Amino acid sequence: MIHSLRKILILGIVALMVFALPQNVRSQQNLDDVKNDRGLNDADVLAAVKTFMPRGGRDEYFSFVGAGNAGSMIVYGIPSMRIYKYVGVFAPEPWQGYGYDDESSLLLKKGSIDNRINTYGDMRYPGLSETNGNYDGKYLFYSDGANSRIALLGLDDFETKQVIQHPLFISCFPGVAVTPNTNFIIQTSQYPAPWDIKSTDASSFKSGITFWAFEEPEGGHAEGHHYGRILKDKSFTLELPAFTLGNFDAGKASSDGYVFGTATKDGKNYVYVVDYNKVKGLKTNEINGFAVASLNDAIAANAVLFIELASSSKAVKVTPDGKYFITASDEAYVFDFAKVKSAMTSASDKVDGISLIKASDALHGSFALGSGVVDFTFGYRKNSIYTSIYNDKKIIRWNYESLKKDKEIALTFKPGNIMIPQGQTETPHSNYLTVTDKEAIYKNYPNVGPVRPSFQHLIDISSDEMKDIYTMSIPQANMYGSVAVLRTTIKPIIRYETGTNSRTGEISDYKTVAGQEKVERKGNRVHVFGTMIRSHIVPEIVHVNEGDVVTFHLTNLERAEDETHGFTIDTYGKHGSYEPGKTASLTFVANRAGAFPYYCTEFCSALHLEMEGILMVKPKGFKETDKGGDVKLTADEQAEYKKNYEAKLKVLSGTQDVINSVVKYLKDNNYQDYPYVKALVEDAFAQLGQAGPVKEKYEKYASEGDYYNAFLWAEQYFQYQVKTADVGLRAKELLTIELNKKKK
């Protein structure tokens, strides 16, 4: 009876298990199964294969797109369209501690109108640094349209290095143009405003073009660390009447030295042309401490020309050879630079005193494109240009020399800004084009409420026909323009030299090495000099008084790749990110009494949860009633610690044997011939190099019979050994792979 009951029960459970399987779970054994199940055709599968990135595969390009008003930059790969990084630029970003640690907060405060941190931006059209008209993969620049700032990012570590408040413009166009050797980063005003922030005098409204001088000092660089900076003292602005300024581009090759952009005023539309080498030679006046060249002097020097357009246009792009610049509303105008240049001295009409010509005076030709042109980008086919046409839902490829249409692709959405990797350089190449989707109502997009993500499509332009092969969604971003460079052109660093302030590239005054951790107090000012390394934060206890001004200066001592630690103090509103070698500081007023744990916020090893300590904030008027003092251990406890200490010594010697055998293998096989392996081995030795003073400590305590402290320091020594062994074993594994490759 009992047996049959059990049988029924078991059968029932089995039946439940079978029928409880979700209905959409089914085995997809082969390609045809998957195609049938998901209703995919061959073109879908081909598109998937073109964008799939196998394990270990690397994208061909890095693409950079601003998150718009979120004030950060997004880095993603082409063709996989995988997002690799968000980088805080114009707004704080807590994960990286950007705008939270002292170094980046100072950078953001210095770059604001009133020494306060702005919490958003408006980032649309980035510019990459160039050498001889091609991307060199070193720097990236952004203009903030909302708070009139300019930013410099270093692509050696993908961090923001400089943010400058524009000294004159209240409103900046949210884009930059970079000259062919990165001598100038060009930024313009957008909406006219007085240059005196307190003035509301309508007659003093102006616009202008700023040429930010950029220099990269010779020599003296930390390895992989670029020190190029925008130099405010060497920069200048050309003043213009109250035009609203739009998109612009810098000349290249034959038109190097000029800038071309759109302008509107009183319902009329223009393209402006400025010879900035002539403007550079003019005498300047200082306004708000910034050099300004007057319009009259620029006019007298024939340095500026306006071209009247029939209707407003959204974009201006200079062709890769620099011979033409192109703008369009519905009709594209291809301007011949040689004709424009000669008109600069011969034009007889004027607008606001500036030389003016008609479009027809300087055209190479025009070409009807369709309704609502948004953007242009250049392709690798000779004289090819791609144009996104919003209302017609199309991208057209045409020839700007012959003015003939080549091909078009009908899209399922209204296209916005388009980009071909390297398409704005003197040598466009690439099989891909990306386009923003300004109309996220495509039937396949899931509804996530009234605010939809931004979408970027990947178009395959390798063959004659264009194909839309991938749709990437990006939340928390209103996307506009982007730029992309060959991934291998960028040479990012793996670690900082120990003690680096990543914002300046200099060794920080607050660099702290193992064994030098300390707490310094002067009155109510407390400086904590600490270190982080798997799996300890030193010091582990910090005592302060309520009302003290406290700074934690922390250095990540790791040399291992990707061993970042984070740091936060519970409820104190501060967070820092510490990549290997980085030093950063967190300052706060200890205005909340109590005990506040601090800990590592980045998973760093199996012992990650042990990376913690505590901040004790004594309330005001606190009186110590019990002096406390050193804990006295009983004889039994001391004996127990002695046993633990001796056991630990055995572990240390066993671990040392492992390290020695790894070192022998590495040396026997000439590890130094393999750069990546060599870097790892140097890492491993650096880890062990830190351990010397620790060994001295545990031996000293043991000799004094203090086994409690001897054990604690032996444990610390073991931590260093484990890290050394960990890196050493990785080096051995890599070396073995290299040796096997050689054999084949």
Min dist CB 535 to Cu ion, Å, is 7
Query: Contact region for Cu ion (CB under 5 A) — 86-94, 104-112, 504-512, 602-610?
Result: 602-610
Give SS3 for 273: strand
Question: What is the per-residue binding string for Cu ion in 61-80, x denoting contact by CB under 5 A?
Answer: --------------------
Q: How far is the CB of 558 from Cu ion (least distance, A)?
A: 9
**Residue of 152, 357, 604, 666 that binds Cu ion (CB under 5 A):** 604
Binding range to Cu ion, per CB under 5 A, among 346-354, 462-470, 562-570, 614-622: 562-570
Measured CA to CA in angstroms, residue 195 lies from 171, 238, 616, 730 at distances of 10, 13, 50, 59
Nearer to Cu ion, 189 or 564 (CB): 564
Three-state secondary-structure class, residue 14: helix
Place of tokens 């810098």: 250
Sheet with 565-569, side-by-side order of all strands: 541-545, 612-618, 594-599, 565-569, 575-578
Closest to 141 measured CA to CA, from 483, 486, 418, 491: 483
User: From the CB of 389, what's the least distance to Cu ion, in Å?
Assistant: 51
Question: Smallest distance, Å, CB 563 to Cu ion?
Answer: 8
**Measured from the CB of residue 690, what is the shortest distance to Cu ion in angstroms?**
16
CA dihedral 72, 78, 81, 84 (to 10 degrees): -50
**Nearest distance in Å: CB 531, Cu ion:** 12
Q: What are phi and psi of 250, to 5 degrees?
A: -90, 145
DSSP-based helix, strand, coil % in the chain, nearest 5: 25, 35, 40
164 scored as a contact of Cu ion (CB under 5 A): no
Mark the segment that binds Cu ion (CB under 5 A) among 404-412, 449-457, 592-600, 618-626. Answer: 592-600
Q: How far is the CB of 608 from Cu ion (least distance, A)?
A: 5
To the nearest 10°, the Cα dihedral for 133, 137, 139, 140? 80
Q: Residue 618: enclosing H or E segment and its boundaries?
A: strand 612-618
Residue 614 CB, nearest distance to Cu ion (Å)? 16
Q: What count of other Cβ atoms lies within 10 Å of the Cβ of residue 486?
A: 16
Q: 565 or 697, CB closer to Cu ion?
A: 565
Least Å distance, CB 724 to Cu ion, is 17
Yes or no: say if 152 and 178 are a contact pair by the CB < 8 Å rule.
Answer: no
Given the rule CB under 5 A, which of 23-31, 367-375, 491-499, 600-608 is the region that contacts Cu ion? 600-608
Q: Applying CB under 5 A, what is the total number of residues that bind Cu ion? A: 4
Nearer to Cu ion, 237 or 687 (CB): 687
Considering beta carbons, is residue 48 or 609 the nearer one to Cu ion?
609
Give the nearer residue to Cu ion in terms of CB position, either 139 or 496: 496
CB distance 172 to 204 below 8 Å: no
CA distances from 53 to 80, 338, 680 (A): 6, 46, 27
CA distance 681 to 472: 40
Residue span 273-292 as binding mask against Cu ion, x where in contact by CB under 5 A, dash where not: --------------------
The residue ranges of DSSP E strands in 379-460, in sequence order, are: 384-389, 394-399, 404-410, 415-419, 432-437, 454-460
The least CB distance from residue 581 to Cu ion, in Å, is 14
Determine the interface stretch with Cu ion among 28-36, 76-84, 595-603, 668-676 (rule: CB under 5 A): 595-603
| Contact string 488-527 vs Cu ion (x = CB under 5 A) | ----------------------------------------
Give the residue with the Cβ less far from Cu ion, 327 or 535.
Answer: 535
Instruction: Provide, rounded to whole angstroms, the least separation between the CB of residue 94 and Cu ion.
Output: 17
Residues 6+ apart with CB under 8 A from 700: none
Out of 420, 611, 662, 735, name the contact with Cu ion by CB under 5 A: 611
Q: Give the HSE-up count for residue 471: Cα atoms under 13 Å, Cβ half-sphere.
A: 19
Binding of residue 600 to Cu ion (CB under 5 A): yes
CA angle 406, 411, 414 (to 5 degrees): 110
Find the shortest distance in angstroms from Cβ 397 to Cu ion: 51
Task: Locate 565 and state its tokens.
Answer: 């630690």
Other C-beta atoms within 10 Å of 718: how many?
18
CB of 693 to Cu ion, least distance (A): 22
Q: Which stretch binds Cu ion (CB under 5 A): 236-244, 343-351, 557-565, 580-588?
A: 557-565
Residue 580 vs 728, nearer CB to Cu ion:
580
Q: Which is nearer to Cu ion, 468 or 683 (CB)?
A: 683
Binding-site member from 124, 565, 618, 732 for Cu ion (CB under 5 A): 565
Question: Parallel, antiparallel, or unpaired: how do β-strands 525-533 and 549-556 relate?
Answer: parallel
Stretch that binds Cu ion, among 157-165, 192-200, 225-233, 604-612 (CB under 5 A): 604-612
Do 379 and 386 contact (CB within 8 A), yes or no?
A: yes
- Given a contact cutoff of 8 angstroms between Cβ atoms, the answer to whether 407 and 399 are in contact is no
**Between residues 91 and 611, which has the closer beta carbon with respect to Cu ion?**
611
| Residue 172 vs 611, nearer CB to Cu ion | 611
**Alpha-carbon distances, residue 543 vs 275, 280, 548, 619 (angstroms):** 62, 57, 10, 11
Cβ–Cβ < 8 Å for 328, 387? yes
Q: How far is the CB of 88 from Cu ion (least distance, A)?
A: 21
Looking at the Cβ atoms of 384 and 531, the one nearer to Cu ion is 531
Comparing CB distances to Cu ion, the nearer of 409 and 611 is 611
DSSP per-residue letters across 62-108: EEEEE-BTT-EEEEEEETT--EEEEEESSS-BTTTTBTTSHHHHHHH
- Subset of 652-711 contacting Cu ion (CB under 5 A): none
What is the C-alpha to C-alpha distance for residues 104 and 107, in angstroms, rounded to an integer? 5
- Contact region for Cu ion (CB under 5 A) — 237-245, 458-466, 609-617, 727-735? 609-617
Amino acid identity, position 375: D
* 725 is an interface residue for Cu ion by CB under 5 A: no
With CB under 5 A as the contact rule, which of the stretches 2-10, 359-367, 394-402, 563-571 interacts with Cu ion?
A: 563-571
- Choice between 544 and 604, CB closer to Cu ion: 604
Q: Give strand ranges (E) for 279-348.
A: 285-287, 290-293, 304-309, 315-318, 324-328, 331-336
- The residue among 135 and 578 lying less far from Cu ion, judged by its C-beta, is 578
Stretch that binds Cu ion, among 162-170, 241-249, 291-299, 559-567 (CB under 5 A): 559-567
Cβ proximity to Cu ion: between 600 and 681 the closer is 600
The nearer residue to Cu ion, 414 or 565, going by C-beta atoms, is: 565
- One-letter identity of residue 608: H
Q: Which residue has the tokens 């396949």?
A: 444
Distance, CA of 384 to CA of 428 (rounded, Å): 10
Task: Provide the mask over 165-184, with x wherever binding to Cu ion is found by CB under 5 A and - wherever it is not.
Answer: --------------------
List of residues contacting Cu ion (CB under 5 A): 565, 600, 604, 611
